[in-house]
Amino acid sequence: MQASEGTAQAKMDALRDAGARVGLNPTAAGALMVEVVAGL
């Protein structure tokens, strides 16, 4: 994945396909982090 290639949506889709949790905005990303840390 390179910063200058592909759309943001394509990058988010690739990350999800790889098993990553992806938030649509900083608030959602923070909520995902809370869930991940709680599961440790």
pLDDT in tens, 1-40: 666 778 989 999 999 999 999 988 989 989 999 999 999 9
The residue ranges of every structural domain in the chain are: 8-38
- C-alpha closest to that of 33 among 21, 15, 19: 21
Q: Is residue 12 within 8 Å of 18, Cβ to Cβ?
A: no
Q: What is the pTM of this model?
A: 0.64
- C-alpha closest to that of 15 among 35, 30, 29, 34: 29
Identify the pLDDT of residue 1: 64
Alpha helices in the chain (DSSP H): 8-17, 26-38
